[in-house]
Structure 1
Amino acid sequence: MTSGAALALLPFAVAIGIWVAWNDMKFMKIPNKAVIALLLVWLVPGLLTVPLAGLTMESWLWGWALAAIVLAIGFVASTVRLVGAGDAKFAAAMAPFFVGSDPRMVFALYAACLIGAVVTHRGAKYIPALRTRTADWASWTNIDFPMGLALSGTLIFHLLLTIKDAI
């Protein structure tokens, strides 16, 4: 993906990513509507940016194949309770945005976002002013971690890094 395509897709990814992260922290759920919205971004703006991205129609279609593969892996992982179902579905919806990316870079970025999200989230719950304003968030007391926070960060930072690399 080129910087032009990443720039065109970034506003959608940021809006949906914030929605997912907030919803996951507040309710410990990733709405199916958010997953569908992200898939629609790949469907319409994603298709329109294929020429900007220097991609072929085949690459755009591979994005859909990648989504299906990640969904299948996520389904198995969710079935054995390694990840939540919403996390698996959102990861599948994110997958097309990484078509053509180096998997090592993607996993390293995800690891960094996961560490950053855990440290930030777990530390933030001890800030009284923040905790008071968000006292109803399920993630403060839930043993599970709101992975939507790390997944959203991974998607957004991937697009930002793609833009930065072109500058």
Structure 2
Amino acid sequence: MYISASSALWFLLFAAPICIWAASSDMKTMKIPNKAVLALIFVFAVVGLIALPLSEYPWRYVHLLVILAFGFVLNMVGAIGAGDAKFAAAMAPFVARGDAMLMIYFFAAVLLAAFATHRLFRSVPALRNLTPNWESWENEKFPMGLALGGALIFYLSAGVFYGA
């Protein structure tokens, strides 16, 4: 992995609660709050100054812009929601450029696991009754915030143990 273990730890401590918030909100309302997106960008803006070399820090904002543009195209063709596109863009600066392909693999694995788990839990009445107001139980669409947030947490956790 290209991310350093110390960078991953710094980012994980502050980004994980926001990822959990985004995932739970998406499952409950099928929306990722703009405040969660802004909070994640703010965490990178502040913690990135501590966690990254100054020569690398500004270049990570290019990740945000590229993923934001890509996400908006996907949103325009109806492939993903606008909140998903914005949250993915906010996640992008946390990922080292050399780890981009690895992050895609992590996202694919987490997406499959999250989808299977969500659909399994949705089919078990005892589990659904624990959170009866979640809109994602009734919606045919999948709350992608669950997979997006989970993927960033997974990537940063892996970086803590296997980072450069």
Match runs of 1:73-112 below 5 Å: 73-112=70-109
Aligned residue identity for 2:148: L
CA shift, 1:107, in A, is 1.0
Match runs of 1:117-156 below 5 Å: 117-156=114-153
Aligned residue identity for 2:23: A
Coordinate RMSD, CA, aligned: 1.3
TM-score (norm 1): 0.92
CA shift, 1:166, in A, is 4.6
Q: Are 1:10 and 1:159, in contact at CA under 8 Å, matched by a contact in 2?
A: yes
Higher relative contact order (CA 8 A, sep 6+): 2
Instruction: Give percent identity, aligned residues only.
Output: 47
Aligned residue identity for 1:60: Y
Question: Equivalent residue for 1:69?
Answer: 66
CA distance in 1, matches of 2:75, 2:47: 29
Match runs of 1:19-98 below 5 Å: 19-50=21-52, 55=53, 57-98=54-95
Question: Equivalent residue for 1:13?
Answer: 15
Q: Are 1:59 and 1:99, in contact at CA under 8 Å, matched by a contact in 2?
A: no
CA shift, 1:129, in A, is 2.2
CA shift, 1:31, in A, is 0.2
Q: Deviations over 1:29-50 (max 9, x none)?
A: 0000000000001100111112
After TM superposition, which residue ranges in structure 1, 4 or more long, deviate above 4 angstroms?
Answer: none
Question: Equivalent residue for 2:162?
Answer: 165
Aligned residue identity for 2:32: I
Matched position secondary structure for 1:142 = coil
TM-score (norm 2): 0.94
Q: Deviations over 1:100-136 (max 9, x none)?
A: 3333211111100000000100001122222112111
CA shift, 1:58, in A, is 3.2
Task: Quickly say closer, same or farther: Cα 1:95–1:23, change in 2 above 3 A.
Answer: same
